[in-house]
Amino acid sequence: MVDQRLGKASGKRVPLDRAEEVERLYRERYQGFTGKHFQEHLVKDHGFGWGYTWLKLHLQWKGVVAKAPRKGAHRRKRERRALPRMMLHQDGSRHAWLEGQPALDLIVTLDDATGAIYSAFLVEEEGTTSTFRALKEVFSQHGLPMSLYTDRGAHYFFTAKAGEIDRGHLAQVGRAFQQLGVEHIGAYSPQARGRSERAFHTLQDRLVNDIRLAGVTTVAAANAFIRETDLPAHNRLFAVEPAGEGSTFTPIPGVDLDEILCVQEERQVGNDNCVSYRTLKLQIPQTPMRRISSRPRSASTSTSTARTPSFTGRDASAATTRKDSSSRSFAPPESARRRDLWTCGRRFAPPTCPQENRTRRSGHLMCYQNWTT
Q: Distance (Å, rounded) from C-alpha 279 to C-alpha 294?
A: 26
Which of 71, 44, 53 minimizes the C-alpha distance to 14? 53
Span 339-361, average pLDDT: 43
pLDDT of residue 312: 34
Does residue 93 sit in the same domain as residue 165? Answer: yes
Residue-wise pLDDT for 190-231, tens only, equals: 666 778 888 999 999 999 999 999 999 999 999 999 999 999
pLDDT of residue 129: 94
* Inter-residue contact 166 to 158 (CB < 8 Å): yes
- Check whether 78 has a pLDDT greater than 80: no
The verdict on residue 352 lying in a domain is: no
Which helix (H) or strand (E) is 373 found in, with range?
Answer: none
* Inter-residue contact 144 to 252 (CB < 8 Å): yes
- Under the phi-then-psi rule, with left for phi > 0, alpha for psi from -120 to 50, and beta for the rest, what region is 194? alpha
The verdict on residue 172 lying in a domain is: yes
pLDDT of residue 247: 79
Does residue 147 sit in the same domain as residue 279? Answer: no
The verdict on residue 27 lying in a domain is: yes
* Inter-residue contact 370 to 279 (CB < 8 Å): no
Span 42-48, average pLDDT: 89
Does residue 114 sit in the same domain as residue 220? Answer: yes
**CATH code, 155:** 3.30.420.10
Does residue 266 sit in the same domain as residue 233? Answer: no
pLDDT of residue 351: 43
Does residue 95 sit in the same domain as residue 226? Answer: yes
Does residue 198 sit in the same domain as residue 340? Answer: no
- Check whether 119 has a pLDDT greater than 60: yes
Does residue 132 sit in the same domain as residue 45? Answer: no
Among 175, 204, 238, where does a domain finish? 238
Q: What is the DSSP string of 312-368?
A: --PPPEEEEEE---TTS-----SSHHHHHHHHHHHHSPPPPPPHHHHTTEEEEEEEE
Q: What is the DSSP letter of 257?
A: G
Which of 93, 88, 254, 84 minimizes the C-alpha distance to 183? 88
The verdict on residue 244 lying in a domain is: no
Does residue 106 sit in the same domain as residue 228? Answer: yes
Does residue 129 sit in the same domain as residue 231? Answer: yes
Phi, psi of 74, deg, nearest 5 = -70, 130
Beta strands at 274-277 and 301-307: parallel, antiparallel or unpaired: unpaired
Domain span at residue 167 reads: 87-238
The verdict on residue 33 lying in a domain is: yes
Q: Distance (Å, rounded) from C-alpha 113 to C-alpha 125?
A: 28
Q: Distance (Å, rounded) from C-alpha 293 to C-alpha 302?
A: 10
- Check whether 25 has a pLDDT greater than 80: yes
Residue-wise pLDDT for 134-178, tens only, equals: 999 999 999 999 999 998 888 899 887 776 888 888 999 999 999
pLDDT of residue 166: 85
- Check whether 17 has a pLDDT greater than 80: yes
pLDDT of residue 303: 32
The verdict on residue 78 lying in a domain is: no
Average confidence score pLDDT of the chain: 77
The count of domains in the chain is 3
Does residue 284 sit in the same domain as residue 232? Answer: no
More confident residue, 333 or 192: 192
pTM for this model (two decimals): 0.64
Among 238, 270, 287, where does a domain finish? 238
Does residue 223 sit in the same domain as residue 283? Answer: no
Does residue 217 sit in the same domain as residue 95? Answer: yes
Q: Picking from 159-163, 203-207, 274-278, 327-331, which range would have the lowest pLDDT averaged per residue?
A: 327-331
